Amino acid sequence: MPTLIPAPTRVTAAGNKPKLIDEYVGRVNTKTGELSVAHMRSPGGWVEPGQTPEFREMTVVLKGHLRVEHKGGALDVRGGQAVVTEPGEWVRYSTPGEEGAEYIAICFPAFSPDTVHRDT
């Protein structure tokens, strides 16, 4: 039988400015470890610490501009585009444009503070 998820859970974000993360599926909202699905809204000028996660992350940008820095440079991902990062790959996400960004992040397995390995 299908399971209705009546609402997401707001979770705390890392970074220099407030960012909204609403988790629909994942360790917090549905107690699911297989994968997580979250709706993100980050303001212009937001940047988070670099990370080397143990999970694969697929990000679909709905609006705005998301920058994904990696060891070889940076990718600018705009509304209507997507990016996939692999486990063990260093990345840093930011929204350098004034408009910020709105995007959906899917992590496999689910996002966890214990497996994201943020830079200190």
> What pTM, to 2 d.p., does this model score?
0.95
Residue 76 lies in a domain: yes
Domain containing residue 15: 9-116
Residue 2 lies in a domain: no
The closest alpha carbon to 25, from 38, 16, 13, 10, belongs to 38
pLDDT at 75: 98
* Digitized pLDDT (tens) for each residue of the chain, 120 residues in all: 999 999 999 999 999 999 999 999 999 999 999 999 999 999 999 999 999 999 999 999 999 999 999 999 999 999 999 999 999 999 999 999 999 999 999 999 999 999 999 998
Residue 94 lies in a domain: yes
pLDDT at 120: 87
* Local structure of 98: helix, strand or coil: coil
CATH of the domain at 23: 2.60.120.10
C-alpha 119, offset from chain centre: 16
Residue 1 lies in a domain: no
Domain count of the fold of the chain: 1
